[in-house]
Amino acid sequence: MIRWWIYALQLAELIVSSLVHMLYGLYIFSTAVAGDLSQNLSERFFKANGNLEVKREDPSGTNVDDLPPIVLVHGIFGFGKGKLGSFSYFAGAEKKDERVLVPDLGSLTSIYDRARELFYYLKGGQVDYGEEHSKAYGHSQFGRIYEQGHYPEWDEDHPIHFVGHSAGAQVVRVLQQMLSDKEFKGYENTSEHWVLSITSLSGAFNGTTRTYFDGMQPDDGKTMKPVSLIQLCRIGVVIYDWLDIPWLKAYYNFGFDHFNMSRKKLGLWGLVDCLLGNEGPFATGDWILSDLTLQGSIEMNRRLQTFPNTFYFSYATKRTRKILGVTVPSGILGIHPLLFIRALQMSQWRHPPDVPPPYKGYRDEDWQDNDGALNTISMTHPRLPIEHPSRLVVDDSECLPLQPGIWYYKIIVEADHILFIVNRDRARVQFDLMYDTIFERCRKHVFRKTPQTLPNQALSLNNCNNNSL
């Protein structure tokens, strides 16, 4: 009898979670459509009287085109400029600086595939996923073509600042390792020095226990539970890609085009195969959730380095607190409805007793603080399987002089996973403080002592008050 009650509660939770996620997706889509309609009407009835060509300069007088770009990399289910019309994943933060790029990468594709896409987005050319990787995971070796790269001069003398949200932070780390290992065919001169700084905003460095609540099996971190939220998601994505409606995919794309799941190529029986889990990214494990389990993240981190000449910064978010020794969500109204159930579940996380712990020294209590999507311990800095150099910043004045090769991290309390994206009104003044600090640090305080890296005159770093992490 107790077992049936448990099954009933699990089914109820699945139904509620599915409805909340579906409604939120519809809200995002409808908001984007409404925004585009409004913009088109405004342009039609209030056309500008003339066009002015303005030379772009920053307040210091530097030509903006000489500045190193700041590249904002979105997380899971995210999108870049050009998707969902004029809607912004980063809630318009890209408008705070004159040289910001917002690439559109696969929203559910693997971290490896997204890193490859990011490289060609910047340099230009046809995305090459690599022959060995493509054969292993059963998809086309080549993908989208970028006729013109968004920063084709990118090299060691013209490095880039990267800001990654959620899984986007791990994408940038994988890209930097690929650059160091010279993994891009035809680009033998790549190196880790192409990356000037990495800033992580709620970054998924060490995996998340949420993946197990969403439906990944905790024993291997690769297979899916037969009845779960991600199984419903998988079915929806397969059908979406199979239908292959051009205008709809131009508006939003999950990024699986290189798996060739279109009805034109698969046919009806191919669709059945994908729905049964015999074909496609969900069958081979070449998708984002496999990379976000604790096991998947540990495996990926084995080859990722923290490089001595790159600056690293991290903001870890937390929406839980302890009451009488028990970790619980910190309030109800302040947590986004999309995240509240998972914040509660993650705060009570217990690793299955019949499954070996994911690493030596594992403790459940270390993984209970969270922001509704990621565990706070996972966001501070890379720590599994080997802990990378790091420094907790409590008082900004303690952080000087800034040193490359160290993860400076700060914990932002009362912040859930999507506080600083999508809707800037939720974060209010915190939103501006966060991105103003990040962009100011990129422009004024993080540089290599070469004129190509930062045209601005280097400022003296006498204290950390202007370097707020």
Does the pLDDT value for residue 433 go beyond 60? yes
pLDDT in tens, 189-246: 999 999 999 999 999 999 999 999 999 999 999 999 999 999 999 999 999 999 999 9
Of 8-12, 66-70, 177-181, 313-317, which gets the smallest average pLDDT?
8-12
pLDDT band at 40; cut points 50, 70, 90? confident
- Mean pLDDT of all residues belonging to the chain: 90
- Token pair for 299: 């495996």
More confident residue, 421 or 5: 421
More confident residue, 465 or 323: 323
* Pairs from 100-104 (Cβ < 8 Å, separation ≥ 24): 100/69, 100/70, 100/71, 100/72, 101/69, 101/70, 101/71, 101/72, 101/150, 101/151, 102/71, 102/72, 102/74, 103/71, 103/73, 103/150, 104/74, 104/79, 104/80, 104/253
Please answer whether residues 203 and 170 qualify as being in contact, where contact means their C-beta atoms are separated by less than 8 angstroms.
yes
pLDDT in tens, 221-232: 999 999 999 999
Does the pLDDT value for residue 368 go beyond 60? yes
Does the pLDDT value for residue 300 go beyond 50? yes
For strand 195-201 and strand 311-318, is the pairing parallel, antiparallel, or unpaired?
Answer: parallel
The pLDDT score that the predictor gives to residue 59 is 54
The pLDDT score that the predictor gives to residue 5 is 79
Does the pLDDT value for residue 61 go beyond 60? no
The pLDDT score that the predictor gives to residue 41 is 81
In terms of DSSP H, where are the helices of 165-257? 167-180, 210-214, 229-243, 246-251
The pLDDT score that the predictor gives to residue 453 is 34
Report pTM: 0.91
pLDDT in tens, 382-411: 999 999 999 999 876 677 678 899 999 999
Does the pLDDT value for residue 464 go beyond 50? no
Taking only Cα atoms into account, the Rg of the chain, rounded to an integer number of angstroms, comes to 22
Alpha-carbon distance 180 to 375, whole Å? Answer: 29
The pLDDT score that the predictor gives to residue 396 is 67
Of 25-34, 285-294, 348-357, which gets the smallest average pLDDT?
25-34
Does the pLDDT value for residue 459 go beyond 80? no
Amino acid at 381: H
% the chain with pLDDT above 70: 90
Please answer whether residues 216 and 355 qualify as being in contact, where contact means their C-beta atoms are separated by less than 8 angstroms.
no
The pLDDT score that the predictor gives to residue 62 is 58
Measured in degrees and rounded to the nearest 5, phi and psi for residue 133 equal -65, -45
Mean pLDDT of 7-12: 83
Mean pLDDT of 32-53: 71
Mean pLDDT of 425-442: 94
% the chain with pLDDT above 90: 79
Alpha-carbon distance 183 to 281, whole Å? Answer: 22
